[in-house]
Amino acid sequence: MRTSIATVSLSGSLTEKLTAAARAGFDGVEIFENDLLASPLTPEDIRARCADLGLSIDLYQPMRDIEAVPDEEFARNLRRARHKFELMRRLGTDTVLVCSSVHPLAEDDDALAAYHLRQLADLAQEFGIKVAYEALAWGRHVSTYDHAWRIVEAADHPALGTCLDSFHILARGSDPKGIADIPGEKIFFLQLADAPLMAMDVLQWSRHYRCFPGQGGLDVTGLLRHVIAAGYRGPLSLEVFNDVFRQAEAGPTAVDAHRSLLMLQESAGLAALPAPVVPTQVAFAELVTPDAEPVSALLGALGFARTARHRSKPVDLWQQGEARILVNTGPAARRDGTQLAAIGLESPDPDGAARRAESLLAPVLPRRRAAEDAPLDAVAAPDGTELFFCATDRPELPSWTTDFHPVPSPGQPARHVHRVDHLALTQPWHQFDEAALFHRTVLGLDARESVDVADPYGLFRSRPVANADGSVRIALSVGPAPTDDTARAQHIALATDDVVAAARAFRAAGGRLLAVPANYYDDLAARYEFTEAELETYRDLGILYDRDADGEFRHCYTETIGRVFFELVQRDADYRGYGAQNAPVRLAAQHVQRPGR
Ligand SMILES: O=C(O)c1ccc(O)c(O)c1
Ligand SMILES: [Mg+2]
């Protein structure tokens, strides 16, 4: 179906918004009145700009407080409407949105509302314009879609129809089933928005927290099915009032917006995309670093051995069990400092995974980084992390490991760590919700609820995504101040069967563990029945503990290099968490450890 976006959903000047919408692949826009009023462009210029960009202007919006107002007020409204219809003719758009009155003098009188809307529609018709009447969830007397439709039906005018807005309908808890009873040709427009589930005033919720379908908790897919069942064939248009998107760069936001509409169409059965190919393991994590020395020392202390080197690039492969870390000292490293730059995801069908990602507008990276390299499908996640869809030593597919030649390593790697338990990635502040949607839809991972985690200097939000058996887990989080180092930290959690032995070996090899305050262990003693010896061991090593109905979780942390630190994790098979309740203690300890505090 045709896709459209309201200019209010994007940041910037009208020109920037239009350009971003067009580049992201939208077919049309709704022009929000304030964007036009603030623009130096004439309506004719805007029309031409849209035409050049291949955008139709699907809607002009909104007209407010039109109906059921006192006579003299309504007379002024008709005069205002005539001006707007002339403007719309210059813009070349034929549908105007009228939202239900919030006027303090508006009367609770459906017959009067219908009479006024009918007169407005009469005038609109002279200009070849259609009026789409929308119930605002906080409308003074009309606040539900079925009420708005009853008034439209009573007015019975060919130039008058209704506009459905998923936010207003779902936020009020209306049953969208009744939509299927509205004749499709009387649904003049469809606005789509999601929102996180929150108990708050609906106007504030709408004006500040709307988000793109799939990012929140409303059943936008179910609603869309009813609208399609009614026979609606107009554009699917996003109308998202959101404080974060107002500030974020319009280009990426528009791409995220368009991706959400692709997803929505897929989930409502309106479009077929290449099926998701769910990764089965973390094949590798790639660190870039300007200085291999401290990273090598840390990996060595953790029990990794440097087993291979890239044939043509300054990249080493460190391995222990199934855990593989690439250490890249190439040019990106000198630019960006030590960080987790790429993740290799073991994929049952790397090519299919890349096609899925591409169909959802993920930026596809070149297949070969150098001519002689094995072809590797890769895309960029919203935070810029490169995701490689790879096969590791599977005879039927090219293996990324063939780009590496073995190097003699002194001794065997240790056996404390057997695989990557999870990766934790901090997201740019404006991209947290999108990151979860991306990992769910592009990679086919399941997202759990997000949790708030207190840091001494702000609040983190964290939301894990994982595959069904937990063999791939990624914890996405967003920190308080983007300039704060802990807010940007990333980590690699390594799975061990015995965290005490792993931590002791790490320390014996010269590694430094994050020290945890004694108060934490006093609290552990109060909550659980550890022996004094166990507690002493945990206190000594900085091991944190969590338990839920499904099992136990023990973990500890290394020091941080650049943006990166490691975690040693011992989890019971059925425990699905990440020790979130320990995170505030860990964050505080990391602030203490950091030089300069
Ligand atoms: O918040 C508002 O005023 C407003 C305006 C126009 C709309 O379509 C809408 O859903 C909300
Ligand atoms: Mg709306």
Residue nearest to ligand 1 atom 1, measured at CA: 207
CA dist., res. 403 & res. 387, Å (int): 17
Give the residue, 335 or 464, on which the prediction is more confident: 464
Question: What pLDDT sits at residue 485?
Answer: 67
CA dist., res. 125 & res. 118, Å (int): 10
Mean pLDDT of 401-420: 88
**CA proximity to 241, closest of 192, 172, 176:** 192
Position in ligand 1 atom list of the atom nearest CA 168: 10
Which position has the token pair 């262990």?
A: 521
Mean pLDDT of 257-286: 97
CA dist., res. 242 & res. 227, Å (int): 24
Mutation probe of ligand 1 site: the residue of 5, 205, 206, 246 with most atoms within 8 A of C-beta: 206
Beta strand spans in 430-550 (E): 446-447, 451-455, 458-466, 473-478, 490-496, 544-548
**CA proximity to 67, closest of 127, 31, 121:** 121
CA dist., res. 597 & res. 591, Å (int): 7
**CA proximity to 478, closest of 548, 382, 555:** 382
Position in ligand 1 atom list of the atom nearest CA 62: 6
How much of the chain, in percent, has pLDDT values that exceed 90?
A: 89
Q: Is the pLDDT at 267 greater than 70, yes or no?
A: yes
**CA proximity to 292, closest of 315, 313, 311, 309:** 315
Torsion of CA 448, 550, 529, 455, to 10 degrees: -10
The token duo for 132 is: 């789409």
User: Rounded to the nearest whole angstrom, what is the distance from the C-alpha of residue 192 to the centroid of ligand 1?
Assistant: 12
Maximum separation of any 2 CA atoms in the chain, in Å: 92
Given pLDDT bands bounded at 50, 70 and 90, which one contains residue 482? low
491 is in an annotated binding site: yes
The token duo for 160 is: 């008058």
Give CA separation, 481 vs 291, 384, 473, 502, 594, in Å: 27, 19, 25, 33, 16
Q: Are 260 and 215 in contact (CB under 8 A)?
A: yes
Mean pLDDT of 364-369: 81
Mutation probe of ligand 1 site: the residue of 8, 59, 99, 131 with most atoms within 8 A of C-beta: 99
Give the residue, 24 or 481, on which the prediction is more confident: 24
* Residue count (the chain): 597
CA dist., res. 353 & res. 437, Å (int): 16
The token duo for 465 is: 């995504």
Q: Are 439 and 473 in contact (CB under 8 A)?
A: no
Q: Encode pLDDT of 486-510 as tens digits.
A: 778 999 999 999 999 999 999 999 9
| 19 CB-near residues (< 8 Å, 6+ apart) | 53, 250
Share the mean pLDDT of the chain: 95
Beta strand spans in 329-416 (E): 339-346, 364-365, 377-380, 386-390, 404-406
Q: How many CB atoms neighbour CB 291 within 10 A?
A: 14
Q: Is the pLDDT at 597 greater than 50, yes or no?
A: no
Mean pLDDT of 84-99: 98
Q: Which residues line ligand 1 (CB under 6 A)?
A: 61-62, 97, 99, 134, 136, 165, 191, 206-207, 239
The token duo for 117 is: 């809307």
CA dist., res. 576 & res. 597, Å (int): 34
Mean pLDDT of 249-269: 96
Q: Highest mean pLDDT: which of 134-148, 357-371, 479-493?
A: 134-148
Residue nearest to ligand 1 atom 6, measured at CA: 62
CA dist., res. 498 & res. 448, Å (int): 27
CA dist., res. 38 & res. 136, Å (int): 24
239 is in an annotated binding site: yes
| Helix intervals (H) in 367-513 | 432-441, 485-488, 499-508
DSSP, residue by residue, 211-224: B-TTSSSS-HHHHH
Mean pLDDT of 96-115: 98
| Helix intervals (H) in 127-219 | 145-155, 166-171, 202-209
CA dist., res. 70 & res. 107, Å (int): 8
Give CA separation, 112 vs 74, 75, 121, 126, 562, in Å: 11, 14, 14, 22, 67
Given pLDDT bands bounded at 50, 70 and 90, which one contains residue 375? confident
Given pLDDT bands bounded at 50, 70 and 90, which one contains residue 483? low
Mutation probe of ligand 1 site: the residue of 169, 203, 241, 242 with most atoms within 8 A of C-beta: 241
Is the pTM of the predicted complex or chain greater than 0.95? Answer: no
CA dist., res. 221 & res. 228, Å (int): 11
Q: How many CB atoms neighbour CB 81 within 10 A?
A: 21
Q: Is the pLDDT at 203 greater than 80, yes or no?
A: yes
Interface predicted TM-score (ipTM): 0.99
Question: What pLDDT sits at residue 484?
Answer: 65
β-pair partners for 344: 284, 388
Position in ligand 1 atom list of the atom nearest CA 167: 10
User: Rounded to the nearest whole angstrom, what is the distance from the C-alpha of residue 42 to the centroid of ligand 2?
Assistant: 25
Query: Which strands sit side by side in the sheet containing 323-328, from one edge to the other?
Result: 364-365, 377-380, 386-390, 339-346, 281-288, 323-328, 315-320, 305-310, 404-406
Question: What pLDDT sits at residue 457?
Answer: 85
Q: Encode pLDDT of 386-399 as tens digits.
A: 999 999 999 999 89
Q: How many CB atoms neighbour CB 265 within 10 A?
A: 20
